[in-house]
Structure formats: structure tokens, C-alpha cells
Chain A
Amino acid sequence: MKVLVAVKRVVDYNVKIRVNSDQTAVETANVKMSMNPFDEIAVEEGIRLKEAGTASELIAFSIGPKQSQETIRTALAMGADRGILVETDTMVEPLAVAKCLKAVVEKENPDLVIVGKQAIDDDSNQTGQMLAALLGWSQGTFASNLDLSDGSIKVTREVDGGLETVDLKMPAVVTTDLRLNEPRYASLPNIMKAKKKTIDLTNPEELGIDISPRLTVLKVEEPAKRIAGVMVEDVAQLVDKLRNEAKVI
């Protein structure tokens, strides 16, 4: 069984982001970039399927500028077998990503695609569901456990009320939630080995996909700041303030 995972290069989750001076975007120049944390979970899950003997090959896909090769290289160092980069400098929206992924899926024929449930930059939470729709496949979103059997996969999903389990006909698309696994760090020998693994380059034109954005970003602003309030001495003063000043209890 072949598994495909998608990884996105995003501003590292530890970076305190800033809106640029002309309020058109978030500053990404000279900022540390990393693999989207949910995608790390996707890569880890793919590797575990390989280690369990369930998956025979793990492919890491990305779309973005040429630096996205580094993100794919990280996935290869973790344990993916080879990479595919759809190179573009255009800002890609989830629908465009899903279309490019679909084109690659049709070429590679994986039985399972695993993607992060959302990227921590645009917080869209769309790509996996869109890919499943375009392929006419089943979808298991916000997964916290996978249980594969012949031709189907049981996905435990983190939903608002708790957990839910669905049984999906394969091939399927799964999107990862936080509790699915804890991604490993790449070891130095594996980082060295990853340098020899191949990354195939293609681009949207070659795939025949129109990636023009459907949304125009008119403005990006910092949110209204909350002003720190007062420190109280003790619990009695706290309750008094809540009762008589804020009047919330």
C-alpha cells in the first residue's frame, strides 16, 4: 500500500508574528520557517504505517516556493521515501492545493492520503476535505486514531462532543489532530540519508491546474489588544471585584 502525505512550509509556531507595514500580509521575510505541526503528525503516522508493514512506500508532497524542498527534506529525514514538490511562488489557497494534490494522486495512486487538519498560518482547515471531494473519496477528519484493515480504515475523530469513530472505504483521505501521535525528531544519520533521496519537481502548469486565487486579501491587521488589568491580593478581593466591579457573578 502506498501512502501520500502533504507537508506545508509555514512560519515556525514559536515565532511571534508581525503584520507588515503596509498591512497587506504577515511578515515572512527573515522569519524562521518550519513544517506545519499537524503535517509532522501526518508524516509520523505514515512512517508508523510503514514500520508496521502496512505501507510499502511513503511519499511526501508539498506545494510552494523552492524553499519548500527543505520541508520535504525534513519529511524524508523523518522517514518518508521520496518527495514531490509542486513549485510556485503564487500564494496558493486550499482549493488550488487540493487540485494539485488530486493531479499527483491520480499519477501515484496511493491508497491513503494523510494531511494535517489545518495549517497554523491561514488556519483554513479545508485541504483534506476538498481533496476527498475532488477525488470522490471518503474522509476521516481530525483523526486521533487509525485502524486499518483490508480495504477499509476505522478513524477515531476528535469532535466537539468527544470522540466519534467512522469506518471509511479505501482509498481515503485522513486529516490529523493533535493526539494521533507524537512526531519523532530526525536523527543525524537519517538527515544525511535524506539528502540522497529524490524530490521530483513539477509545477501547476505542468499539472494543468489553474491556481489563481479566488479570494483577495484587502487588508491584514493586528487584532485589538487586550489591556492587562489589575492584580488582586487574595481570593476575597477577587470575588469582591467580580461581584461588585465587573458584575459577572
Chain B
Amino acid sequence: MSVLVIAEHDNAELKPATLNTVAAATQLGDVDILVAGDNCSAVADTAAKIAGVGKVLKADAPALKTGLAENIAPMIVELSSGYSHILAPATTHGKNIMPRVAALLDVAQISEITSVVSADTFVRPIYAGNAMATVQSADAIKIITVRTTGFDAAPAEGGSATLEDVSNIMDAALSSFVGQELTVSERPELTSAKVVISGGRGMQSGENFPMLEEIADKLGAAVGASRAAVDAGFVPNDYQVGQTGKVVAPDLYIAVGISGAIQHLAGMKDSKVIVAINKDEEAPIFQVADYGLVDDLFEAVPALSAELDK
């Protein structure tokens, strides 16, 4: 069986989520990767080095530059014959494109799988991760998005895949890219960071987030937030950890002033070690925390910063 993985990238760099998706794909068969973008040769070269990848399909055209689903999905459909599975990471990019591919192929999509049971059977979370469903697909081709925290990353080095150019790239002329406002940060990406420190409603204001950033810089951590903090406008949407935001599973997750609503827990409960700092000792976050500290965060966080210097 052959499996096609849709690479996640920004035309310059391959995103780590691709490696977790390749790891899921290698459990299913021989893996090829599609790098669809514009001026994306460097990404294709990086993808060719991933251990376990046989072939890199490079689709390089202006119409693919910004990842518009209307242009990419029909191309994936054209490439689909010969593949038993097509996988993409369950990022906003993958979630945008893959259902469009599935519908064009008249097959179901299996969203956000966390493990592969067999070639046609997968486990996926439902109800914000409060239940896990094992589902079997009867479709000839399986369209899947992969929850990256469910799979350890495939080695980025060690492979030597062949490169093949994809022609026949169309601009569907249904949509166009206007612009973007991306959060610029020197810190690691939230979904692949080894340490994450997140703030909730208890932070009271966006002006208090630099307290967390200071600790993040000492630990090499990414900064996240609960939905309450994002809804209150403390930080931008891309900070949100939870059912409808990002799902993270770092080695260490520090929740500061976060009560622990179900929808937040859905996004971080697979972290290896969870620390909770909250002044409310009844906060549900303490039920999932390995280490809990009942304290006013405006005292505990500066103290934590000082202690880390020792």
C-alpha cells in the first residue's frame, strides 16, 4: 500500500507537524510526500531527507503559494489514484483542505486520528477528548487528518527520496489571498515546544503576559493561553490551547491562572508533566496536574522566575 502525506510548510521551511504525520503514515505503507507551494524547492529537499519517505512530489506554482484549498484539493484528487491513504496534519491548513479532497473523492474523512489500529481502523477523540472512538472505514481511499501529539516525529534525517515534479496545476479562480497577520516570535512553536506555559483569565490583562514570557525564555518554552484569555482579548487567537484551538503535548505544561474547563483540558491533558498555579484550590485544573500550587499568580510567577535563576 502507498500512502501520500501532504507536507505542512511556508514555502521556506518544512513544519514539524509533517514529521508526526509521516510517522503515522509509515504504519500504513510506503510513504510519498506532496510539497505544494510556490518556490518551494528548499522544502522539497528537506522533505526528501525524512527517514522512510520514498518519493517527494513537488507541485511548484504561484497558484499554490498561499495554500488555497480551492486550488490544492483538485490537484490532490488527481494525484490520489494509486494511493490507499492520504494523510495531512490536523493543522488549520490540513483541516481546511482535506475535507474538500474527501468530498471530491466521495469518501469520508477520518479526523484527527491519535492512533492507527490497522489499515482501515483508527482511533480518534470525540466530545473534546472525553471519549475515544475506534472507527473502521469502508472507503477505497482513506482521507485522514493526524493529531500530531498522537505520534512521535519521524526522524528528519536519514532518507533519500527521489524528487518528481507535478504538472497540471490549475488556478480555480474561486478565491485569492489578501494578506496575513502572523504572530512573530523567537520562541518555539506552540505545538512542537518541549515546554509550554499558558495563562488564563486569572492573568487579568494582556499586559501581564510578559511575566509568562520571561519564564518562557528561561525554559525555552512557548506561550499559550486558555480560550477565556483569548476571548477577553489578552492575547491573539493563535495562543489558544484547547478543543477548538491547538492541541499540545509537551514534556512540561505550566497552567497559570487557568481553571481547567473541559475544552482547555482537551488541548493539553496529554502533556507528560502538568503544573497548575491557581489561587482557587477547587479549580478543576488541579485534578489533572502532577504538581499543584495554590497561590496568587502575581506572587508565584515572579517567585518562579527568581527561583529558576538559582
Contact = CB atoms under 8 A, between A and B. Distances in A.
Interface range on chain A (Cβ under 8 Å from partner): 35 or more
Interface string A103-145: 0000000000000011011111111111111101111111010
Given A159-B93, A215-B135, A230 B290 contact: yes
B112 interface: yes
A229 B303 CA distance: 22
A127 B108 CA distance: 11
Interface in A179-234: 179, 213-223, 226, 228-232, 234
B178 interface: yes
A169 B175 contact: yes
A130 B179 contact: no
Chain A binding surface SS class:
mixed
A167 interface: yes
A83 interface: no
A242 interface: yes
A178 B244 contact: yes
B131 A26 contact: yes
A54 interface: no
A159 B108 contact: no
B206 to A, nearest CB: 15
A137 B172 CA distance: 10
B181 interface: yes
B109 A218 contact: no
A128 B69 CA distance: 12
> Looking at chain B's contact residues, is the secondary structure mostly helix, strand, loop, or mixed?
mixed
Contacts of A159: 92-93, 180, 238
Contacts of A232: 291-293
Contacts of B292: 228-232
Given A158-B238, A166-B176, A238 B291 contact: yes
Nearest to B250: A248
A187 B295 CA distance: 42
Interface stretch (B52-60, B79-87, B120-128, B160-168): B120-128
A1 interface: no
A160 interface: yes
B252 A238 contact: no
Nearest to B183: A162
Interface of A: 11, 13, 16-17, 19, 26, 38, 93-95, 98, 117-118, 120-134, 136-142, 144, 154, 157-169, 177-179, 213-223, 226, 228-232, 234-236, 238-239, 241-242, 246, 248-249
Interface of B: 66, 68-70, 73, 91-93, 95-104, 106-112, 121, 125-139, 173-183, 191, 195, 219, 227, 230-231, 236-238, 243-244, 246, 251-252, 262-263, 269, 272-275, 286-295, 300, 303-304, 307-308, 310
11 contacts: A93-B108, A134-B103, A138-B70, A160-B238, A161-B238, A217-B135, A222-B132, A232-B292, A235-B300, A246-B291, A248-B272
